Chains A and B, each alone.
Chain A
Amino acid sequence: MANKELKKILYVEDETDIQAVASIALEAVGGFELEICSSGEEALQKAEAFSPDLLLLDVMMPGMDGPTTLQKLKEKSSLSETPAIFMTAKVQNNEIEHFKQIGALDVIAKPFDPMKLAEQIKQIWDSFNV
Protein backbone atom coordinates (compact mmCIF):
# COMPACT_ATOMS: atom_id res chain seq x y z
CA MET A 1 0.00 0.00 0.00
CA ALA A 2 3.04 2.24 -0.46
CA ASN A 3 2.18 5.92 -0.95
CA LYS A 4 -1.47 5.16 -1.53
CA GLU A 5 -3.74 8.10 -0.87
CA LEU A 6 -6.44 7.58 1.73
CA LYS A 7 -9.83 8.28 0.16
CA LYS A 8 -12.46 5.74 1.16
CA ILE A 9 -13.24 4.80 4.74
CA LEU A 10 -15.69 2.13 5.86
CA TYR A 11 -16.85 3.14 9.35
CA VAL A 12 -18.59 0.62 11.62
CA GLU A 13 -20.33 2.25 14.59
CA ASP A 14 -23.67 1.42 16.19
CA GLU A 15 -24.42 4.75 17.84
CA THR A 16 -26.24 7.19 15.57
CA ASP A 17 -25.09 10.32 17.47
CA ILE A 18 -21.46 9.35 16.97
CA GLN A 19 -22.11 8.37 13.33
CA ALA A 20 -23.42 11.88 12.69
CA VAL A 21 -20.43 13.63 14.30
CA ALA A 22 -17.97 11.30 12.58
CA SER A 23 -19.66 11.98 9.27
CA ILE A 24 -18.98 15.72 9.67
CA ALA A 25 -15.48 15.04 10.97
CA LEU A 26 -14.50 12.71 8.14
CA GLU A 27 -16.53 13.91 5.14
CA ALA A 28 -16.85 17.67 5.67
CA VAL A 29 -13.61 18.27 7.59
CA GLY A 30 -11.45 15.43 6.24
CA GLY A 31 -12.79 15.23 2.69
CA PHE A 32 -12.98 11.43 2.76
CA GLU A 33 -15.62 9.28 1.11
CA LEU A 34 -17.40 7.51 3.94
CA GLU A 35 -19.62 4.44 4.12
CA ILE A 36 -21.22 4.08 7.53
CA CYS A 37 -22.42 0.69 8.79
CA SER A 38 -24.42 0.36 12.00
CA SER A 39 -23.32 -3.18 12.78
CA GLY A 40 -20.69 -5.76 11.99
CA GLU A 41 -23.26 -7.69 9.98
CA GLU A 42 -23.99 -4.66 7.81
CA ALA A 43 -20.25 -4.11 7.29
CA LEU A 44 -19.85 -7.69 6.09
CA GLN A 45 -22.59 -7.10 3.53
CA LYS A 46 -21.37 -3.73 2.24
CA ALA A 47 -17.60 -3.75 2.59
CA GLU A 48 -16.52 -5.53 -0.59
CA ALA A 49 -18.73 -3.46 -2.89
CA PHE A 50 -17.48 -0.22 -1.30
CA SER A 51 -13.85 -1.35 -1.57
CA PRO A 52 -12.47 0.84 1.24
CA ASP A 53 -8.88 2.00 1.67
CA LEU A 54 -9.32 1.86 5.44
CA LEU A 55 -11.59 0.15 7.94
CA LEU A 56 -12.55 2.19 11.01
CA LEU A 57 -14.31 0.17 13.68
CA ASP A 58 -15.90 0.78 17.05
CA VAL A 59 -14.84 -1.95 19.49
CA MET A 60 -17.90 -2.53 21.62
CA MET A 61 -21.13 -2.98 19.68
CA PRO A 62 -24.22 -5.06 20.33
CA GLY A 63 -24.16 -8.35 18.41
CA MET A 64 -20.86 -8.67 16.56
CA ASP A 65 -18.12 -6.61 18.24
CA GLY A 66 -15.38 -4.70 16.41
CA PRO A 67 -12.58 -7.30 16.71
CA THR A 68 -14.87 -10.10 15.45
CA THR A 69 -16.06 -7.87 12.59
CA LEU A 70 -12.46 -7.12 11.61
CA GLN A 71 -11.56 -10.80 11.69
CA LYS A 72 -14.50 -11.68 9.44
CA LEU A 73 -13.82 -8.79 7.05
CA LYS A 74 -10.21 -9.90 6.69
CA GLU A 75 -11.39 -13.38 5.72
CA LYS A 76 -12.67 -11.81 2.48
CA SER A 77 -9.85 -11.93 -0.05
CA SER A 78 -10.42 -8.37 -1.37
CA LEU A 79 -10.14 -6.98 2.20
CA SER A 80 -7.45 -9.21 3.66
CA GLU A 81 -4.81 -6.47 3.27
CA THR A 82 -7.04 -3.48 4.06
CA PRO A 83 -5.65 -1.60 7.08
CA ALA A 84 -7.87 -1.01 10.10
CA ILE A 85 -8.11 1.40 13.02
CA PHE A 86 -10.21 0.80 16.13
CA MET A 87 -12.06 3.48 18.06
CA THR A 88 -12.93 2.84 21.66
CA ALA A 89 -13.61 4.44 25.01
CA LYS A 90 -11.26 2.00 26.70
CA VAL A 91 -7.61 2.36 25.82
CA GLN A 92 -5.25 0.83 28.32
CA ASN A 93 -1.80 0.09 26.89
CA ASN A 94 -2.22 -3.68 27.04
CA GLU A 95 -5.51 -3.34 25.15
CA ILE A 96 -3.90 -1.23 22.43
CA GLU A 97 -1.26 -3.93 22.00
CA HIS A 98 -3.98 -6.58 21.81
CA PHE A 99 -5.84 -4.64 19.11
CA LYS A 100 -2.62 -4.23 17.13
CA GLN A 101 -1.95 -7.94 17.42
CA ILE A 102 -5.32 -8.72 15.85
CA GLY A 103 -4.57 -6.49 12.87
CA ALA A 104 -5.21 -2.83 13.75
CA LEU A 105 -2.74 -0.12 12.76
CA ASP A 106 -3.64 1.83 15.86
CA VAL A 107 -6.42 2.77 18.26
CA ILE A 108 -8.16 6.14 18.53
CA ALA A 109 -9.59 7.02 21.93
CA LYS A 110 -13.15 8.14 22.43
CA PRO A 111 -14.15 10.83 23.15
CA PHE A 112 -12.64 12.33 20.02
CA ASP A 113 -12.43 15.93 18.84
CA PRO A 114 -14.57 16.17 15.65
CA MET A 115 -12.30 18.88 14.23
CA LYS A 116 -9.17 16.77 14.72
CA LEU A 117 -10.33 13.21 13.96
CA ALA A 118 -9.51 13.33 10.24
CA GLU A 119 -6.00 14.61 10.97
CA GLN A 120 -5.46 11.86 13.54
CA ILE A 121 -6.48 9.25 10.99
CA LYS A 122 -4.26 10.80 8.29
CA GLN A 123 -1.29 10.74 10.67
CA ILE A 124 -1.81 7.06 11.48
CA TRP A 125 -2.27 6.29 7.77
CA ASP A 126 0.88 8.20 6.78
CA SER A 127 3.01 6.63 9.49
CA PHE A 128 2.18 3.16 8.17
CA ASN A 129 2.23 4.15 4.54
CA VAL A 130 5.76 5.46 3.96
Chain B
Amino acid sequence: MSEQASTLEDKLQELKNSYVDHLSEKIKDIQKLWNSLVNNWQSETQEELHIIIHSLAGSAGTFGFDHMGKVARSADNILKGYREEGVSPDKSKNNELDTLIEKLSCVCNEIVNHSSNKESSK
Protein backbone atom coordinates (compact mmCIF):
# COMPACT_ATOMS: atom_id res chain seq x y z
CA MET B 1 0.00 0.00 0.00
CA SER B 2 1.36 3.44 -0.91
CA GLU B 3 2.16 5.91 1.86
CA GLN B 4 -0.67 8.20 0.75
CA ALA B 5 -3.21 5.36 0.71
CA SER B 6 -2.01 4.27 4.13
CA THR B 7 -2.50 7.81 5.49
CA LEU B 8 -6.00 7.92 4.05
CA GLU B 9 -6.80 4.55 5.60
CA ASP B 10 -5.49 5.83 8.93
CA LYS B 11 -7.65 8.94 8.69
CA LEU B 12 -10.73 6.89 7.83
CA GLN B 13 -10.00 4.56 10.74
CA GLU B 14 -9.78 7.57 13.07
CA LEU B 15 -13.16 8.78 11.84
CA LYS B 16 -14.58 5.30 12.32
CA ASN B 17 -13.30 5.24 15.91
CA SER B 18 -14.85 8.62 16.56
CA TYR B 19 -18.14 7.41 15.03
CA VAL B 20 -18.15 4.41 17.36
CA ASP B 21 -17.43 6.70 20.34
CA HIS B 22 -20.65 8.62 19.62
CA LEU B 23 -22.78 5.65 18.61
CA SER B 24 -24.09 4.76 22.08
CA GLU B 25 -25.19 8.35 22.60
CA LYS B 26 -27.00 8.32 19.25
CA ILE B 27 -28.84 5.09 20.11
CA LYS B 28 -29.81 6.52 23.51
CA ASP B 29 -31.27 9.57 21.73
CA ILE B 30 -33.25 7.24 19.46
CA GLN B 31 -34.57 5.28 22.45
CA LYS B 32 -35.48 8.48 24.29
CA LEU B 33 -37.37 9.85 21.27
CA TRP B 34 -39.12 6.51 20.73
CA ASN B 35 -40.22 6.28 24.38
CA SER B 36 -41.48 9.83 24.25
CA LEU B 37 -43.35 9.10 21.00
CA VAL B 38 -45.02 5.97 22.35
CA ASN B 39 -46.24 7.87 25.42
CA ASN B 40 -47.39 10.93 23.50
CA TRP B 41 -47.50 10.71 19.69
CA GLN B 42 -46.42 14.10 18.36
CA SER B 43 -45.59 14.64 14.69
CA GLU B 44 -42.54 16.77 15.60
CA THR B 45 -41.08 13.91 17.68
CA GLN B 46 -41.87 11.44 14.89
CA GLU B 47 -40.05 13.71 12.41
CA GLU B 48 -37.05 14.07 14.74
CA LEU B 49 -36.86 10.30 15.24
CA HIS B 50 -37.16 9.70 11.49
CA ILE B 51 -34.31 12.10 10.67
CA ILE B 52 -31.92 10.53 13.18
CA ILE B 53 -32.78 6.95 12.11
CA HIS B 54 -32.58 7.85 8.41
CA SER B 55 -29.19 9.41 9.00
CA LEU B 56 -28.02 6.28 10.85
CA ALA B 57 -29.22 4.15 7.91
CA GLY B 58 -26.89 6.14 5.65
CA SER B 59 -23.91 6.60 7.92
CA ALA B 60 -23.54 3.15 9.54
CA GLY B 61 -22.77 1.41 6.24
CA THR B 62 -20.36 4.16 5.21
CA PHE B 63 -18.31 3.28 8.30
CA GLY B 64 -18.56 -0.44 7.55
CA PHE B 65 -21.38 -1.33 9.95
CA ASP B 66 -23.66 -2.86 7.35
CA HIS B 67 -25.88 -4.80 9.75
CA MET B 68 -26.66 -1.71 11.78
CA GLY B 69 -27.35 0.18 8.55
CA LYS B 70 -29.84 -2.50 7.44
CA VAL B 71 -31.70 -2.52 10.76
CA ALA B 72 -31.87 1.27 10.69
CA ARG B 73 -33.10 1.15 7.09
CA SER B 74 -36.01 -1.13 8.08
CA ALA B 75 -37.01 1.32 10.83
CA ASP B 76 -36.51 4.21 8.39
CA ASN B 77 -38.93 2.60 5.92
CA ILE B 78 -41.70 2.29 8.54
CA LEU B 79 -41.25 5.90 9.64
CA LYS B 80 -41.11 7.01 6.02
CA GLY B 81 -44.49 5.35 5.48
CA TYR B 82 -45.89 7.28 8.44
CA ARG B 83 -44.42 10.54 7.17
CA GLU B 84 -44.75 10.52 3.41
CA GLU B 85 -47.49 8.06 2.60
CA GLY B 86 -49.90 9.11 5.33
CA VAL B 87 -49.89 5.65 6.93
CA SER B 88 -51.35 5.91 10.43
CA PRO B 89 -49.13 4.53 13.18
CA ASP B 90 -50.61 1.18 14.18
CA LYS B 91 -49.88 -1.34 16.90
CA SER B 92 -48.35 -3.97 14.65
CA LYS B 93 -45.96 -1.52 12.91
CA ASN B 94 -45.09 0.11 16.22
CA ASN B 95 -44.25 -3.32 17.67
CA GLU B 96 -41.98 -3.86 14.69
CA LEU B 97 -40.35 -0.47 15.29
CA ASP B 98 -39.93 -1.29 18.96
CA THR B 99 -38.14 -4.54 18.05
CA LEU B 100 -35.93 -2.79 15.49
CA ILE B 101 -34.92 -0.05 17.95
CA GLU B 102 -34.13 -2.74 20.53
CA LYS B 103 -32.04 -4.51 17.88
CA LEU B 104 -30.18 -1.26 17.11
CA SER B 105 -29.23 -1.08 20.77
CA CYS B 106 -27.92 -4.69 20.75
CA VAL B 107 -25.94 -4.17 17.54
CA CYS B 108 -24.52 -0.94 18.94
CA ASN B 109 -23.36 -2.77 22.09
CA GLU B 110 -21.69 -5.43 19.94
CA ILE B 111 -19.89 -2.77 17.88
CA VAL B 112 -18.73 -0.83 20.96
CA ASN B 113 -17.59 -4.01 22.77
CA HIS B 114 -15.78 -5.28 19.69
CA SER B 115 -14.08 -1.91 19.28
CA SER B 116 -12.95 -1.71 22.94
CA ASN B 117 -11.70 -5.33 22.83
CA LYS B 118 -9.62 -4.42 19.79
CA GLU B 119 -8.24 -1.38 21.58
CA SER B 120 -7.36 -3.34 24.74
CA SER B 121 -5.62 -6.11 22.77
CA LYS B 122 -3.29 -3.57 21.08
Which residues of A pack against B, CB within 8 Å? 14-15, 17-18, 20-21, 24, 28-29, 60-62, 87-90, 110-115
Contacts and interface: CB of A to CB of B under 8 A. Distances in A.
Interface residues of B, number: 24
Contact of B15 (A21, A62, A111): A21
A110 B15 contact: no
A89 B8 contact: no
A79 to B, nearest CB: 25
Nearest to B18: A17
Interface of B is mostly: helix
Interface stretch (B49-57, B98-106, B107-115): B49-57
A102 to B, nearest CB: 15
A17 B51 contact: no
B99 to A, nearest CB: 20
A98 to B, nearest CB: 11
